[in-house]
Structure 1
Amino acid sequence: MTPLQRAGRRLADGHRRQTARITSWVTEKGESTSTAARSAVLIAAAYIAWKAEARTPIVLWVLIAAWVIAAWRAAPKPPTATPETPRDAIVQWLTETIGDRPGIHLYELYPAMRLLPGMARHDDTALRGALTELDIPITRSLTIGDIKGRSGVRLADLTTPLPPPEEHPLSQGKDAGETGRSTPEEQAETGPSPAEERTTAA
């Protein structure tokens, strides 16, 4: 593959990722009112850009350049070394996808995973199962920017060696922390303790 073809593929990948992020942002709350409001914001922004371009054509080229730069940065960089294991491969991909952020929330990660070869038809449960099988820790309440209280994957956990299995309980069950009610902002997900289970049973 020539350098020009590699650049084209990276831009195309970045374009898909940018589009997926915008779509995730519009629909992230799963509420029709929120989705409609965020869609209206995008439409208003497009209208303003269109009116500005009609008066000053150079605005269009500035917007195109900004989108191309954002797409280039959004696409994962070419790997510097061949991963030795499937976990090494997913860690490398996650690290590139996260970029300079402290981590990535699951609501953004799942659409990105579906862009990977053979993953398009997998639902959230299957994607979560794949992360668990590959020993990717999921944090119950992860803060990224202004968004708090959502489950996600921390960049620090990808670069830290895993402890023995008995000391490293991976996430269990449904995605936790999605309602923002967890106040300890970065906690590894665990199931209920035996004492809690006995209290509930009683």
Structure 2
Amino acid sequence: MTPLQRAARRLVTGHRRQAARLTGWVSEKGEPKSTASRSAVLAAAGYILWQTIDRSPAVLWILAAAWCIAAWRAAPKPPAAVPAEPPASPRDSIVQWLTETIGDRPGIHLYELYPTMRLLPGMGHHDDTALREALTTLDIPITRAFTIGDVKGRSGVRLADLADPPPSREEQPLPKGEDAGETACSAPEERPETAPSSTEEPTREKAL
């Protein structure tokens, strides 16, 4: 991936994070009255900006530059260089990378993690399902719904879970449904399955 492509992906990731923060701020309290009031504030601010840009078009370039700078700062840093002594296993490697990516936060949501994973070598063309399967294969625990900052109710990886040893395959519960807050990132095997009824009994043949 070229430096220009990495920069573009970082801007897109930062843009998504800022948009999620605005959305989270609007519905932060979970009350219809509060949500309506904050939505009105955003609408009024947008109208004022629109009128200002209409009178002075140069303001648009200033706002666009300010937004791009904020998005660049909001995005996680690119993956660090491979250390001189690589981790003992692939899981240790991804755990180390996730720890550095999460930083001082309690975790990272999948909608933010996936674009960052695509910055890794060889992962740029993987879709959400393939990235989800890669995490599952490496025994990375995924919590269905938790809160990070103003964003609530989305699935992701918690920092505290990375320190625990991976559970055995036999002890892992079967997940049901899609991840919270996601649309198409669940692997096919995560969807609930329907089993045939076990109450049916074969009928006996009548004697002739």
Give yes or no for the alignment of 1:75 onto 2:78: yes
Counterpart pick for 1:151 among 141, 148, 155:
155
Looking at secondary structure, tell me which structure has more helix per residue: 1
**TM-score when scaled to structure 1?**
0.57
Q: Secondary structure at the match of 1:83?
A: coil
Q: Which has the larger radius of gyration?
A: 2
- 1:155 alignment partner AA: L
Taking the aligned partners of 1:121 and 1:138, their CA distance within structure 2 comes to 22
Deviations 1:165-200 (A, max 9, x none): 33333x746642117xxxxxxxxxx87799xx899x
Give yes or no for the alignment of 1:131 onto 2:124: no
Pairwise CA distance, 1:158: 0.8
**In structure 2, do the counterparts of structure 1 residues 24 and 191 end up closer, same or farther at CA, with 3 Å as the change threshold?**
same
Taking the aligned partners of 1:145 and 1:24, their CA distance within structure 2 comes to 11
CA RMSD of aligned residues (A): 4.6
Give yes or no for the alignment of 1:87 onto 2:91: yes
Q: 1:151 touches 1:175 (CA, 8 Å); kept in 2? A: no
How many percent of aligned residue pairs carry the same amino acid?
A: 50
Pairwise CA distance, 1:107: 0.6
Q: 1:141 touches 1:151 (CA, 8 Å); kept in 2? A: yes
**Structure 1 runs not aligned, ≥5 long:** 1-8, 30-36, 55-59, 180-189
Taking the aligned partners of 1:162 and 1:177, their CA distance within structure 2 comes to 22
**Structure 2 runs not aligned, ≥5 long:** 24-41, 183-189, 200-208
Taking the aligned partners of 1:86 and 1:14, their CA distance within structure 2 comes to 27
Q: 2:10 touches 2:75 (CA, 8 Å); kept in 1? A: no
Pairwise CA distance, 1:94: 1.0
Q: Secondary structure at the match of 1:100?
A: coil
Listed as ranges, the matches of 1:11-160 within 5 Å are: 16-23=9-16, 25-26=18-19, 51=59, 70=73, 74-78=77-81, 80=83, 81-160=85-164
Aligned counterpart, 2:36? none
